[in-house]
């Protein structure tokens, strides 16, 4: 029977399980100390859990831009409202999945094509 309020597990059976689901903020080494008991004697037990970092899914918020005719807009990574909880992550690439109905979206003055992967900045003319 588990007594979670006192962080004490009174009886462990084959179906008893200790479980935790660490988050990205808990990516470190955790030292766990236990006291094991047979109800008469006890012994200390220590173990370490190392939470390994995984690549969490990035997020992005949709946006809209207004561009005056006869002008262009140069997009930077900041225009894509990109966030990634993983330390050191940055926007690596993007894929154009819909092209503008009129005009051209260019990369280094060359029209981009549908589903083209882009590794750097782009400008719309």
Residues near Ca ion (CB under 5 A) are 55-56, 58, 84, 86, 89
Q: Give whichever of 50 and 55 is closer to Ca ion, judged by the CB atom.
A: 55
Q: Give whichever of 24 and 37 is closer to Ca ion, judged by the CB atom.
A: 24
Q: Give whichever of 75 and 82 is closer to Ca ion, judged by the CB atom.
A: 82
Instruction: Compute CA 111 distance to the chain's CA centroid, rounded to the nearest angstrom.
Output: 32
Helix or strand holding residue 10 (H, E): none
Q: How far is the CB of 85 from Ca ion (least distance, A)?
A: 7
Q: Give whichever of 24 and 72 is closer to Ca ion, judged by the CB atom.
A: 24
Looking at residue 60, the DSSP 8-state letter turns out to be: E
Q: How far is the CB of 90 from Ca ion (least distance, A)?
A: 10
Pairing verdict, β 8-9 and 2-3: antiparallel
Q: How far is the CB of 21 from Ca ion (least distance, A)?
A: 18
Q: How far is the CB of 118 from Ca ion (least distance, A)?
A: 18
Residue pointed to by tokens 């094509």: 113
Backbone angles phi, psi at 21, to 5 degrees: -125, 95
Backbone angles phi, psi at 113, to 5 degrees: -115, 160
């Amino acid at each position: 029977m588990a007594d979670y309020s006192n962080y004490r597990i009174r009886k462990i059976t084959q179906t008893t399980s200790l479980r935790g689901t660490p988050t990205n903020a808990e990516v470190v080494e955790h030292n766990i100390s236990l006291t094991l008991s047979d109800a008469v004697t006890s012994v200390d037990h220590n173990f370490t859990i190392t939470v390994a970092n995984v690549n969490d899914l990035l997020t992005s918020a949709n946006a809209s831009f207004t561009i005056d005719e006869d002008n262009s807009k140069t997009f930077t990574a900041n225009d894509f409202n990109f966030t990634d909880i993983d330390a050191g992550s940055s926007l690596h690439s993007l894929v154009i999945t819909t092209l503008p109905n009129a005009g051209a979206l260019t990369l280094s003055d060359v029209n981009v094509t549908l589903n083209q992967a882009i590794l750097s900045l782009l400008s719309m003319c």
